[in-house]
Structure formats: C-alpha cells, structure tokens
Amino acid sequence: MNITANNPLLKSWVSIPENSDFPIQNLPFGIFSTHSENNKRVGVAIGNKVIDIYQLASFGYLNDLEFTASDFEQDFLNPMMLKGKVATRNLRNRISELFEISNTELQNNNEHIQQILFDQNECTMHLPVKIGDYTDFYSSEQHAFNVGCMFRDPDNALLPNWKHIPVGYHGRASSIVASGTPFRRPKGQQKPNAEEPPVFGPCKLLDFELEMAFITFEGKELGEQISTKEADDYIFGMCLFNDWSARDLQKWEYVPLGPFLAKNFVSHISPWIVTLDALEPFRTNGPVQDPKVFPYLEYEGDKHIDIKLEVSIQPENSKETVVTKSNYKHMYWNMNQQLAHHSINGCNIKCGDTMASGTISGPEEGSFGSMLEISWAGSKSVAMADGSERKFIQDNDTVIMRGFAEKDGIRVGFGEVNAKVLPAN
Ligand code: CA
C-alpha cells in the first residue's frame, strides 16, 4: 500500500520554518488542548501549527475514512490507534492531501482554518497514549558493554545471553508522564561503601537514559506470536523517551531480579508520536549479528532507522550544554526483533503498549547515552556553559532530548522531551 504522504516533493500551503521537525512529510500525532479550550483532542503537527483533527472530522473533511469525529475528541490516541495500521495510514495520507499546496478544499475556507489550525505556542501538549504495559529493552551493545565494565567485569562485560536474546524487563506504566512535567529527586536505599551498611536518603547519582520508544497497535490473542516480518504492522510510531535512573539505588537493588525503584519513579516521553510510516524513508541496515540468531529473530531488509539524537543539560537560569550526540541506528537489536522476541512465548501485546529501546550509546566517547557512561561512573566531569560541572544531574537542572531523521533535504523530527529535577521532599 502506497504511503503517499511520504512523497519528498510535497509542499504545504502552511508555511514551514527552515529546519522544522514537522514538514508535511512528517504529520505526527499527539493530544493537545488550547489555552482557551480545555477539552483534549487529537492533533497533528505541521510547521509551527497544530491541526485539530477532531474539528477536521467534524467539518466533514475525513468522511471517507474509517473514523468518526468522536474518535478524535479523546484524552488519548488509543481509540484512533485501535483502528489499526491501514486506517491510520489512510488518515495520514488524507491529512497530507488536504494540506498539500495544490489542494484548495480547506485552503480556501478561512472560517474553517480559524477553527482547525492553532499556533503550537497556544496549545498544551499532553501524554499522548494511555500506556497499558511498559517494556524496557537493553539493546545497545555499547551501552551494555559500558555498564558491564563499570558494574561487573571489563573482561566479561557482555553477559553470555546478550547476543542471543534481546534482553528486556517489564517496567511500570503509571509513572510515564508528558514532557515538561517536573519531578522530585527520588529517595531510597544506597550502599556507597562496600564495607559499611546501606544508607537511606535522596539519590545522589541521578541520571538520564537517552532512549526511543515504539508504541504498538492492538496485537494478537494470548498464545500467538508476531513475527519479525509482521512486526511493522503492529507498530504505530515512535517517540523520544527519557528513562530516568537512580544509579546508586540501582547498584544496591538490582541483584538478582533487576531494576526496580531505581527506574520506576518517572520516565518522560515526547508529545508527538511520529508514525513508523513517516520513518520508512530513513531505514538503514543494522550490525552483522554474530553469533547467528535463532530463526525467529532473523529478519529481511533494512529494519534499523537513522535518527540523530542529542541530550542537553540546562542548569537553572542558564544556557543549555549539549552533553552527547548519538543515533538510533546504533541499536544491535531492531524493533522487529524486539517485538518478535516479546511475543515468542505467547505474551500478548495491547494497543498503547510502550517499548523502550534501552539507552542508546554510540561506539565512541561523545555519543554515550547516560551520565553514568559520560562521566564513567563519576570519574570525570562535563563542563557546562555557565562554568559549573556535572557528573550526574543536579537539582533544578532541566534535561532536554531532541531527535530527527534527515535525508534528501527532508527532515522528520520528534521535537523534544524535557524535564526539570526538583529537590527531594
Ligand atoms: Ca532504560
């Protein structure tokens, strides 16, 4: 089926600022409200504008599609996503058609435009998806290697299962919040000194994890599998994901069952879900997987995606400093393999499940995806623009992640996910 909305030649009658993340080839989905009207509804970003999809449907512009206007007057994208891949692809194609420069259906109706197009700065963005289950993978080889070196043994940094299994764990959905939601530094048990008993108090080694997440459509029945070949049809789209981590809590608690309170106090996602369709032009090949993987993890074609990522730290009342630049293409395991692995035992995937990549670290210094790695467990500092230094994240720091894919002059971006750390209470 043709993804007509991806045509690089398309231009919109809405003006698109240079270097915008949201040209007509993107059209990501989110949930917004305006400052004048409280009700939440589905929006699509274009340039500096938000398209009100509920109003678009109410005025009859989406009549030939599988949706009713009420599917878009919702607190979350889930009712829209429940219609599946084909319906949401047709929806994006139709929005593209309406906003294409030669189409006059809406372009010539100023009265409708007033009620359909809003400036992004008059809108509040909300958590886009009602997340049922959250799974966090651990699929960047460099990250797993770096952590293995620091937490265990440099000579055996990767555990024996790592290149056979897309390792993951079940996280907690309740504490995943919208970008811009401030949070308190977590408290918990730590054991800073091997010879002394554990201590309790505010986390001292607060860290971000640079990740991306994919959001699923409704999967299959319990007991069924999703193959690597079918996986694309079960993935709605992707967002930026900051999986905050308390390293001192993590080190003390993680044996034998893995992370718990070090990871579930908060995670932030970016407001716009970029569809997997919009990312298709940016596919790229992944690493050679050696040893050979089991047949259920084999895949055909380019299933990795070239998405440039960066993280900044902004101290209070100060400029931001970029502390790392990485790329989603550095993943060892791709989403198709993750989803195939997740369901190989019959585990059922639901609409709105969120699956994070794990920290995305590139192969060299300067591209690591966490302060744990950037400061190499606190052994070196990063200079900030204001003259201060960081090994981990301090109170009142804001951490900002950005990402975009770019090819042949078309840039499909994610905007940003940001969050400010408040002192522990
Ligand atoms: Ca993580």
Neighbours of 420 (CB within 10 A): 16
pLDDT score for 36: 86
pLDDT tens sequence across 205-258 = 999 999 999 999 999 999 999 999 999 999 999 999 999 999 999 999 998 999
Residue 115 has pLDDT above 90, yes or no: yes
Is the per-residue pLDDT at 2 higher than 90?
A: no
Distance, CA of 94 to chain centre:
25
- Ramachandran category for residue 327: left, alpha or beta (phi over 0 → left; psi -120 to 50 → alpha): beta
Residues listed for the chain: 425
> Is residue 97's pLDDT more than 90?
yes
Measured between alpha carbons, how far is 9 from 24 in angstroms, rounded to an integer? 10
Q: Among 143, 268, 330, 341, which one carries the catalytic annotation?
A: 143
Q: pLDDT band at residue 38, thresholds of 50, 70 and 90?
A: confident
Look over the chain and give the mean of its residue pLDDT values, rounded to a whole number: 97
* Residue 1 in this model has a pLDDT that exceeds 80: no
Tell me what pLDDT residue 259 has: 92
Mean pLDDT to the nearest integer, 266-282: 98
CA–centroid distance, residue 243 to ligand 1 (Å):
5
What is the structure's pLDDT at 397? 98
Q: Are 163 and 292 in contact (CB under 8 A)?
A: no
CA distance 69 to 59: 9
**What digits encode the pLDDT tens for the residues 311-351?**
999 999 999 999 999 999 999 999 999 999 999 999 999 99
Task: Answer yes or no: CATH 3.90.850.10 is held by domain 134-422.
Answer: yes
Classify residue 291 by burial, with Cβ atoms within 10 Å: 0-12, 13-18, 19+.
exposed
CA of 67 to the centre of ligand 1 (A): 35
The count of C-alpha atoms lying within 13 angstroms of the C-alpha of 344, restricted to the half-sphere facing its C-beta, is 15
Distance 170 CA to ligand 1 centre (A): 11
DSSP string, 225-262: ---TTTGGGGEEEEEEEE--EEHHHHHHH-TTT--STT
pLDDT of 152: 85
Q: Which residues pair with 184 in a beta bridge?
A: 422
Mean pLDDT of 87-116: 98
User: Rounded to whole angstroms, what are the CA distances from 216 to 95, 213, 234, 336, 352?
Assistant: 22, 10, 6, 12, 5
> What distance in angstroms lies between residue 141's CA and the mean position of ligand 1's atoms?
13
Mean pLDDT value across residues 94-123: 98
pTM given for the model: 0.98
User: What are the boundaries of each domain within the chain?
Assistant: 4-126, 134-422
CATH 2.30.30.230 fits 4-126, yes or no: yes
The enclosing H or E element of 380 equals none
The per-residue pLDDT for range 360-389, each reduced to its tens digit, is 999 999 999 999 999 999 999 999 999 999
Please write the tens of the pLDDT for every residue from 121-160. 999 999 999 999 999 999 999 999 999 999 888 999 999 9
Q: Which residue has the tokens 């193959």?
A: 227
Q: Is 341 a catalytic residue?
A: no
Report the side by side order of strands in the sheet with 410-422.
183-184, 410-422, 398-407, 308-314, 321-327
pLDDT tens digits, one per residue of 410-423:
999 999 999 999 99
